[in-house]
Amino acid sequence: MVRCGVALSCVALLVPGPVAASARPAAIPAEPQDQAAAKIPPDQLDSLVAPIALYPDNLLSQTLVASTYPLEIIQLQQWLEKNQNIAKDQNKLAAEIKKQPWDPSIQAMAALPDLVKRLSDDIQWTTDLGNAFLAQQSDVMDSIQRMRGKAKDKGSLQSNQQQKVETTTVESKQVIVIEQANPQTVYVPSYDPQYVYPPPAYPYPPIYYPPYAYPSTGAVIAASAISFGVGMAMGAAWG
């Protein structure tokens, strides 16, 4: 079942409430009452989304949708490992990836192998994230806004050469929007959630992702430990 073919609209994604209909599964069964009682509470959701909450909006939306296909993420990671020569050529990579029977959200991730590896290496967290996104979409969006607010208040989240951080009002609510400084290039942030956000620690097991293996551009925000990898050109799959 195709859940999303392209990245979601940044504002539509981050405004509290349901994400645009085009981003949702074609048909999601009504949630049983017994499942409603098992929803993840806000503090645990905050910790669950902490590793990606500071991603630029287009990348964030792609990551959330891709997380609902954990098996395909693993398959993509295995494919990238077996086809490293192809992966070095973006044109060849795009052509070969289109031949694979994966959801478009997974295919779009092929251009960001380090992010794919992160999602694959911690597949339980990725699965939990995807399940939460499907079952508690509005709650996940609210958590992302809370974590962005905490990072911004601490001084960790700022505009720089790679991204623009703005606060806007949508439907009478303030929303923190993160966009690429260059709309055609995406930079993936790398940060330790336990450092960029203020305490306390969250009930959900904390997740630390080490810095990327590829050379950093050196763009590290002072006192925030947010760094950015090599910028990647965004194709049509990113919307």
Per-residue confidence (pLDDT) for residue 210, from 0 to 100:
43
Location of structure tokens 């092929």 = 110
Per-residue confidence (pLDDT) for residue 187, from 0 to 100:
86
Structure tokens at 51: 């590793």
Tens of pLDDT along 155-213? 999 998 889 999 998 888 899 999 998 888 888 888 888 888 887 545 555 554 444 34
pLDDT under 50 in the chain at which residues? 1-2, 4-11, 15-30, 33, 201, 208-224, 236-239
> Where exactly are the structural domains of the chain?
10-238
What is the Cα Rg of the chain in Å?
Answer: 17
